[in-house]
A and B are shown apart, each in its own frame.
Chain A
Amino acid sequence: MSDAITVTALGRTFGDFHAVRDVTFDVRRGEIFGYLGANGAGKSTTIRILCGLLAPTSGRAVVADADVARDPEAVKRRIGYMSQKFSLYPDLTVRENLDFFGGAYGLYGRRLREKIDAVLAEVGLTAQRDATTGSLPGGWQQRVALGNSLLHDPDILFLDEPTAGVDPASRREFLALVRRRARAGATVFLTTHYLDEAEYCERIGLMAAGRLVALGTSAELKARHVPGRVLLARTTRPAELRAALAPRPDVLAAQTWGSGVRLRVRPELSPSALASLVTALDATASLEPAEASLDDVFAAVTTGAA
């Protein structure tokens, strides 16, 4: 079976500006794929191309077996799309919103009613079906929006920063719903600002200045892009310790972090050598191991530094 999404040397320019430049990747069927990047990195342009809303200026993208440039309508029929700025009618009930969007997908009559019931159960809003959408908490409205994008059983679900501005408990529930859909066979393409959220994804693509600069699982990205060891030096004087350590060539990164300094050091700097170095600078400091994060990966690949 072919991949759900195949992107080959994809490019899009706006005048002289290269919004997306030579991007190649694929997403397997049933995979949850995370697409990350800063504002202006090219995430939204890519997602608009993949959803058949914007034609590429070079390269090719095949989504659910349809070429996005040649047959964008086929793409639109097979995908579901939900964005951070989801549009719901706040003065309609939950059910009325689903009814409206179902109509837009060409569903009607008994089939639509059955679909709405199934989707309400899936997103856990059966009891809220007659509530006015605008009166629901943000996390629940977000699930209504997800429900809308699921009504026509899309093969691929595009979620564009779906959890922005939603609290952690609601994010967790939302992502569990998404995962259940993926388990049932849907492919999920998710963009996010939150790097901890990217840990939910099976593989991650990282965009910077229009290019795909990193691609792999979270563990692979950390191993490849964040060499060295990460440690936390706890001290009562973090600012001074950071200032003393930051300029050293064997210290790759030093950040003030809580009541301490988060350090990334070259592997050659042995634990004992680092420990004596730190205590010589600050007798109150103690070292403990820490872990590389996707924030470290992001900082490394976007600044171009290793």
Chain B
Amino acid sequence: MTASALEATALVQRFGDVEALAGLSLTLAPGELYGLVGPDGAGKTSALRLLAGLARPVAGTARIEGLDPTAPRSHVREILGYMPQRYALYGDLSVSENLRFFARLYGVEREAFRERRARLLAITRLERFPDRRADQLSGGMYKKLALACALLHAPHVLLLDEPTNGVDPTSRMELWDLLHEFVADGMAVLVTTSYMDEAERCARVGLLDRGRLLIEGAPADLVAAFQGAVATLTGPIDRVEALLPPLGHDLAASTPRGQGLRVVLEPGALPALQAAAAAAGVHVERARPTFEDLFLELLHARAEAAA
């Protein structure tokens, strides 16, 4: 059996009365890109902080290549890269100076630094701006510099907390392509996001809600196993909206989409909707479910079960 790159076992974290993590377990193999997705307050950041050794869990264990990240003088620092949501670069230092500073902090040898600096500047496309001050970079460039700084010591495991939040589409695409390059070289990457469309880019995803994993697996497998139905309704908007209340608990979610409405339905509910829509002169088109639809259905089913 290959040693896991990262392992969380039954992690529990509390802040006062709030249980941020309620027994989270997950494992990453080397070369795996894992997406931890979930709404704000689900516990994503708490999980990353425990794995980075910045806090101790109330119960459970966090391991990076078998090592305890909170152990004093841990070797984990050399194999782990961590990029929090607000990564503090030195605003009045240039791109080059920030890289040199973080290389010294991590004790990167001069020769290795020169080589990695060139590669990181090239792949982040920051090579044209080595002398620009960090506080004069755009949001996307700043994130890429932060990522480069977190990678200077060539970590085996990389933890990224919402790296694409507030980053424009061009930079987001570049960032995801970069992550795929790193995992192809054997790095294990754990990334959090609240954007469900990004989850589909990960090899495996875990859906975190209120400190627990609701579901875990390859996005395509999870979507393929989805039992509900997704459809787009188009027609006069009053008539479209009149179709929703009769669906009752069978309606998991509805979202405006262009001039129509996209609905996520519980299993078995589509035929009745199709019949009602035909009578009302509303066009129903079945749509391919996405990971976000699955997420909405799961949360809805859970809320129904709790009610």
Contact = CB atoms under 8 A, between A and B. Distances in A.
Contacts of A256: 177, 180, 184, 201
B169 interface: yes
A217 interface: yes
Contacts of A37: 168
Contact of B169 (A139, A195, A202): A195
A165 B256 contact: no
B203 A193 contact: no
A39 B218 contact: no
B244 to A, nearest CB: 12
B220 A234 contact: yes
A255 B177 contact: yes
Main secondary structure of the interface of A (DSSP, over half): mixed
Interface in A106-150: 137-139
B258 interface: yes
A138 B40 contact: yes
A259 to B, nearest CB: 5
A299 B203 contact: no
Given A179-B256, A257-B200, A168 B171 contact: no
B2 interface: no
Given A165-B165, A217-B258, A218-B258, A258 B201 contact: yes
A183 B169 contact: no
B194 A168 contact: yes
B40 A201 contact: no
Contacts of B168: 37-39, 193
B196 interface: yes
A169 interface: yes
A138 B194 CA distance: 14
B202 interface: yes
Given A38-B171, A168-B195, A168-B292, A199 B257 contact: yes
Given A199-B257, A291-B288, A258 B140 contact: no
A258 B202 contact: yes
Contact of A202 (B138, B220, B259): B259
Nearest to A302: B170
Contacts of A238: 180, 203
Contacts, number: 106
B180 A172 contact: no
A40 interface: yes
A211 to B, nearest CB: 15
A196 B197 contact: yes
Interface string A242-265: 000000000000011111100000
A35 interface: no
Interface string A183-223: 10000000001111001111000000000000001110000
A190 to B, nearest CB: 12
Nearest to A288: B220
A16 to B, nearest CB: 19
Given A167-B194, A259-B203, A40 B138 contact: yes
Contacts of B259: 202
Q: Interface centre among B169, B180, B194, B218, by most A CB within 10 Å?
A: B169
B258 A199 contact: yes
B276 interface: no
B200 A258 contact: yes
Given A38-B170, A259-B218, A295-B173, A170 B40 contact: yes
B100 to A, nearest CB: 27
Interface in B123-138: 138
Interface in B178-206: 180, 184, 194-197, 200-204
A175 B201 contact: no
A172 B166 contact: no
Nearest to A32: B256
Contacts of A232: 220
B139 interface: yes
A302 B202 CA distance: 24
Contacts of B255: 172, 175, 200
Contacts of A239: 180, 184
B69 interface: no
Interface in B27-42: 39-41
A167 B140 CA distance: 19
A176 interface: yes
Contacts of A302: 170
11 contacts: A137-B41, A138-B40, A165-B165, A169-B299, A193-B168, A193-B169, A194-B169, A201-B258, A238-B203, A256-B201, A295-B197
